[in-house]
Amino acid sequence: WNVRTMLTGFELKDHELRKTAIIDRELHQLGIDIAALSETRLSETGSLDEVNYHFCWSGKPDNEPRIHGVGFAVKKSVLSACTPPVSTNERIMRLDVNTNSGTLTLLSIYGPTLDYSKQQKDEFFFQLEQIIKNVPARNRLAVLGDFNARVGKEWEHWGHIIGQHGTGSLNENGQRVLLCASCELIVLNPYFAGSNRSKVTWRHPRSGHWHQLDLILIRRRNIRDVLHAQSMHSADCDTDHALVRAKLQLHPKKIHHVKLKNKPRLNITNMKDSDTCAKFQCMLECVSGNDQPDSDTLWENFKNKILVTAKDVFGTTKKKQPDWFAVFEHLLLPLIEKKKQARLILLQQPTKPRTLKFKEAKAAVQKATRECAQKYWQDLCKKIQTANLKAKDGTILTDRKEQLTQLTIRDLLFADDAAFVSNSPDELQNMMNKFSDACTKFGMVISIKKTVVMSQGTNISPKIYVSNEALDNVDHFCYLGLTLTSSLSLDKELDARIGKASVTFGTLTSRVWNNKLLTLNTKVSVYQACVLSTLLYGCESWVTYSKQERRLNSFHLHCLRKILGVTWDQRITNNEILERTGLQSMQTTLDICRLRWLGHVEHMPQ
């Protein structure tokens, strides 16, 4: 809850009241157990007791202006379960709570506003990332406070990081929050539905628009502990921010947990074979019926018989992409066995020759492991960047003419990603009428929900009908992986590209970026194949401004610094980061992609 300040009181019935007393009464009425307070504006660190809550805070030194500041308000009934708070600075404070489900770590933060410099924002989010990394993995974690950031509602671009019930649009600070949370955290607020008023927390004084600036971040695996989260505008302590309340239900920690075996998945590709389907139908008919009166028992028996028969006939799916160790186990297992034998001989009678022999066997295993891991990821990068077309006999086609002759359409079962462009609504309506008639003749149906209309360069929203049903007018939509807008702006497309690239980068953190077996060249190759290809998809057709290129370059360098393990306070320049990785800046990369595409267009036949 951003309380604006805890310095001043205000008059109520001719009595001067402390601000903490007002906060104490409001929190008690709403049944809050622990509240994270932002912008307290109290100096140094300290604490005080009110009637129902114990207040503690962290602020700037006495000789500096009283700005920022964070703190906690802890209900006295749960105070005995809390450890003393730890203060990092005037923007971050930590509190650990012992529960019956383990330790709950709470971070109270106050983020820098948009008018702060890039250096100050980088410093804050770097400190926050380091503190989050130092929290033990077994702890439940919640980051609460006023981030001064809007994460928006484009959930499909950011994977699981935000939910489907967001509001507003993404801004620069919001992108920093999502990048900070991309590894293991989620933004809790957009995961719960409700009215727009229950989502927003702050109203802009000039425009009058409401925004969601106060956020709660938790670990993804702990979302089952949360019952609900919403803004509470009824709380009043002379502040322009609404309180955000999250209800948590902590479950008892299990002593022993048995992981259930996953059910096998049927290989549905075999269902395309008519002979196999006929065999399945024949075997299903041979299964004797059950004349038990209980309908539940009848259904269970019938379901089990279908699953068992389908498993016997169609089989189950197998893992398509084996792990790197499974690929090279024929090389590694003999070396591991040799090391094992050398160790057993050394344990029987330790001698210097046997010790040297064991060390040589151990070094051989380590060297082979590194080489196999490098080769696996390098081959995988080449496979991702190269799409091979195969003939009927399974051989890879390299000749362009042979590839084109293989691309024949057998049966047109559906048509997707069709786009019609016209200069007037009447012309567009005529085209849609002809297209609808053609689909009807071929027995195809146009999906009204997936068909939309977008106009560019005009304020008029045309009314287009298909089968007497009006199509929706939108200001943006995704076509062939690219986000097109009515305003011809590239910002929404960049939001989508950065979001998807960030999710891809976070997914590979443990397997690639933090993998000590891989060299820097291999990590950069994976970054180019997986992250850069996602970020720059369709960039040949982009018309970018320098501000947008700087935004892409900032994300690019952010990823490279994480790959290198370079922290913000090491004062290493961007040019040195690019030299170490052997990559170009985003501006140069975009120019290369555009020039390559122009050369391709130039060599096309007229």
Res 589: pLDDT: 93
The answer to whether 252 touches 185, Cβ cutoff 8 Å, is no
pLDDT at residue 405, as a whole number: 54
What's the CA gap between 318 and 267, in Å, rounded?
A: 8
Answer yes or no: are the C-beta atoms of 114 and 74 closer than 8 Å.
Answer: no
Span 1-20, mean pLDDT?
A: 62
Report the pLDDT value the prediction gives residue 57, as an integer from 0 to 100. 93
Q: What would the CATH number be for the domain defined by 10-248?
A: 3.60.10.10
pLDDT of residue 257: 41
Decide if 277 contacts 269 (C-beta within 8 A). no
Give the pLDDT confidence of 483-494 residue by residue, as tens digits: 888 888 888 899
In angstroms, the CA 439 to CA 420 distance is: 15
- Packing angle, helices 172-180 and 118-134, rounded to 10: 20
Closest CA to 57 of 80, 33, 28, 36: 36
Cα end-to-end span (Å), the chain: 64
Residue 298 is predicted with a pLDDT of 76
**Is 315's pLDDT higher than 90?**
no
Q: What is the pLDDT of residues 497-539, one digit of tens each?
A: 998 999 899 888 888 898 888 899 999 999 999 999 999 998 8
Q: How far apart are CA 281 and CA 272, in angstroms?
A: 14
- pLDDT at residue 17 in the model: 44
Q: What is the DSSP string of 527-559?
A: IIIIIIHHHTTTGGG----HHHHHHHHHHHHHH
Beta-bridge partner residues of 72? 36, 56
Q: Which residues of 63-92 are buried (b: 16+ CB within 10 A; e: fewer)?
A: eeeeebbbbbbbbeeeeeebeebebbebbb
Structure tokens, 22:
């007002």
Assigned token pair, 192: 């719960």
pLDDT at 122: 87
> At 12, is the pLDDT very low, low, confident or very high (cuts 50, 70, 90)?
very low
Please give the Cα distance from 416 to 453 (Å, whole number): 16
33-38 mean pLDDT = 93
Do the bridges between strand 102-110 and strand 140-146 make them parallel or antiparallel, or are there none, so unpaired?
Answer: parallel
Q: How much is the pLDDT for 292?
A: 53
Higher-scoring residue by pLDDT: 8, 307: 307
Give the mean model confidence (pLDDT) for residues 384-406: 60
For the segment 475-481, the average pLDDT, to the nearest whole number, is 84
Q: How many CB atoms lie within 10 A of CB 393?
A: 5
For range 276-290, the mean pLDDT = 72
Dihedral of alpha carbons 309, 315, 316, 317, sign: negative
* Spatial CB neighbours of 487, under 8 Å, sequence gap ≥ 6: 456, 475
Distance CA 161, CA 187 (A): 6
- The per-residue pLDDT of the chain, averaged, comes to 84
pTM exceeds 0.75, yes or no: no
Q: How confident is the model at residue 586 (pLDDT cuts 50, 70, 90)?
A: very high
Average pLDDT over every residue of 69-89: 91
What does the longest C-alpha to C-alpha distance in the chain come to?
93
Q: Take residue 234 and report the two structure tokens written for it.
A: 């009824």
CA 67 to chain centre: 33
What length does the chain have?
606
36: β partners: 72
In terms of Cβ atoms closer than 10 Å to its own Cβ (0-12, 13-18, 19+), residue 126 is middle
Q: Say how far residue 151 (Cα) sits from the centre of its chain.
A: 12
Q: Please, is 398 exposed, middle or buried when counting C-beta atoms within 10 Å of its C-beta (0-12, 13-18, 19+)?
A: exposed
pLDDT, residue 71, reads 95
| Residue with more model confidence, 598 or 254 | 598
Q: 265: which DSSP letter?
A: P
d(CA 72, CA 49): 12
Q: What are the E-state strand segments in 188-282?
A: 202-203, 210-211, 214-219, 226-232, 243-248
Q: CB atoms < 10 A from the CB of 55, how many? A: 23
Q: What's the gap between Cα 422 and its chain centre? A: 38
